[in-house]
Amino acid sequence: MFNAYPSHGPSNLLLEWEVTLNGSVVQKGKVPVLTIAPQHAGTIRLPARIPASPGEVFLNISYREKKPGSSLPAGHPVAREQLRLQEYANDLSIHPAGELSFADEGGTFTITSPVTTLNLQFNKQTGWMQHYAMGARLLAEDSSGLTTDLGPGHSPVQEPRLQLFSTSTSTDLAVVKADYLIPETPFLLHARYTVNAKGEIQVEQILEVDTTQPRDTTAAAVAIKYPPLFGMKWILPAGSDSVLYYGAAPVTDSCGRTRVDLSRLHADDTGSWADIRWWKLTDVQGHGLLIAADSSFLSIHVHNKQLNIDHPFIDGGADNYHYIYKVTPQ
């Protein structure tokens, strides 16, 4: 710590620190007395420990006025700092959790479980999920498709066109695959859903350049325009009214875990959350969905009960973008 005061020490400052693991405070403390000479640096040792559990670990440090000053009241924050001690890691794997049953009829592929009352349905004509429930608990009414956007100044991208729908099943795991062509662009979009009896879903999305299309590699050729945004749209059931999320909020705002209470999802209610590690939406009984990202961030947007799960904006330059997130019933 460097004492920038020209003529006195930081005796009126209280140092507070905390260690967070994936947004939750696991350790905290205070240093009530700071003795560093003016215009000098000093070392302050904190008994902070990195948790044994995997996850993103931050050390948050703040300085507050202990007594009222000439212009600042007691307790007023004068400085904050955040240090990352451990990188974010999240286990998105799906493990067997009981017996699954399958039905393929009437243009619908259905996954059920007699153990957990899972009922998950996919439309074989569009590849979209159209029903997601655990017994009487409806988690998603429908999914209204995939989202892509070429950005400002470009025509809207047409709805992705399903090229192939396929499934791979075992007694306790199912994989649903949907491959799309994005019209008027040189891109293919692959969606993969890995499901177990608990209703846990690993959603994998891959955006890649269609190498079967001819590409002009001359210097005068117009560069490929990459969609800066792509993701998925789900339709939420009525009654979900509480959001809990963990994201990369700056420490000066609401670092780590933040709670937002929504009275209800009205037609005019809109909520947007950017740079999300995980996001949980529940009803008054605590039932709902937890969506957790891989090492990248997600952007969540809710409007008119439509849930948009979008991936980070793409700068371009690569032929393949691969993102994974996990959906867990609550």
Query: Which DSSP string corresponds to 144-197?
Result: EEEEEE--TTSPPPPPPEEEEEEEEE-SS-EEEEEEEEETTTTEEEEEEEEE-T
- All CATH 2.60.40.10 domain ranges in the chain, comma separated: 13-86
Give the CATH fold of the 101-329 domain: Beta-galactosidase; Chain A, domain 5 (2.70.98)
In the chain, residues under CATH classification 2.70.98.10 are 101-329
**How confident is residue 158, by pLDDT bands cut at 50, 70 and 90?**
low
Q: What was the pLDDT predicted at 213?
A: 63
Q: Is the pLDDT of residue 136 over 80?
A: yes
Residue 64 clears pLDDT 90, i.e. is over it: no
pLDDT at 121 over 90: yes
Region 256-275: mean pLDDT is 45
Instruction: Write the DSSP string, 36-104.
Output: --TT-B----------SS-S-EEEEEEEEESS--SS--TT-EEEEEEEEEE-----------S--EEEE
The model's pTM is: 0.75
CA distance 220 to 234: 41
Token readout for 228 is: 């800066």
Fold of 13-86: Immunoglobulin-like (2.60.40)
pLDDT in tens, 172-188: 999 999 999 877 777 78
Confidence of residue 295 (pLDDT cuts 50, 70, 90): confident
Please report the pLDDT score of residue 264 as a whole number. 27
